[in-house]
Structure formats: structure tokens, C-alpha cells
Amino acid sequence: MWTAANTPASNKDSRCVNTRFLQHHAPRSEGICTVFVHNVFFKWKTGTTSGEIDEMAEALGTLPGLVPSIRSYTFGRDLGLGQPGASWDFAIFAQFDDEDGWRAYLSDPEHEAVRDEKLAPRIAERASVQFIVN
């Protein structure tokens, strides 16, 4: 599993509250932390190599330093512990301050390049879910 987090200088008035599952960033004036969560699951095309997965992971790992709206970014391969055929091969768990931050990530040229050039050619199936945690 790889984890990358980004707290840009523009966010230095935030406080960070670590919970067992998530890292939340919220302005100091707010009493409740809210985070927008974007989870993506992939099944790779047959023949995708371990080296190719490593290349994809390396490219994904650059995004928190390039896309300012990312607050936390964790991704990794399935450990193979679940029921055969019922698991996904790889997952990304990304956190943003809000929906606007997520949309900025989706349309960011750095994200688009990684998605289109590194991941898309190897994706057999993809699923995603977005939700808010208070």
C-alpha cells in the first residue's frame, strides 16, 4: 500500500484531526470536520504485469504534490485475502475538502495524464463511489 498526503501552504490555517480511518482537515473555526471521500476500484486487463502496476503506482504517488485539492491519497494492490473472483485488483482512496476539490482533481491536467496514459490502457473494469464523512 502506498500513502501520500498533501497539505498545501494555502491550508496552513487548518487543523488536522486523525481518526482511526480518515485524516480530516477543517478550518480552525469549524467544530465538526467534514471530508469528501472518493474511492475507486480497478480490475486490470489480463496480462498486466507487476512492473506495470508499480509504474502506475509511482505515477499516482506524484499526484498529491501536483494537485492542490488532494488532502489524503492512499492506494494499493489487493492482498488476495477475499473470496476469489469477488475482489478488485487495486483501489484508490482519496480525500478532499469538498465536492469542488474533487471536481478540480478530476479535471486537473496532471490527474488526467496519469489516468489517460498510465491507468486507462490497463483497466478492464472500474467502479467508484463518493461520500461525505462528518
Q: What is the pLDDT of residue 106?
A: 98
Q: What is the pLDDT of residue 11?
A: 38
pLDDT digit string, tens, across residues 38-68:
999 999 999 999 999 999 999 999 999 999 9
> What percent of the chain clears pLDDT 90, i.e. is strictly above it?
70
72 exposure class (CB count in 10 Å sphere: 0-12, 13-18, 19+)? buried
Distance set, CA 4 to CA 57, 66, 85, 125 (Å): 11, 11, 29, 24
Q: Which residue segments constitute the domains of the chain, with CATH numbers given?
A: 2-133 (3.30.70.100)
Q: What is the pLDDT of residue 130?
A: 98
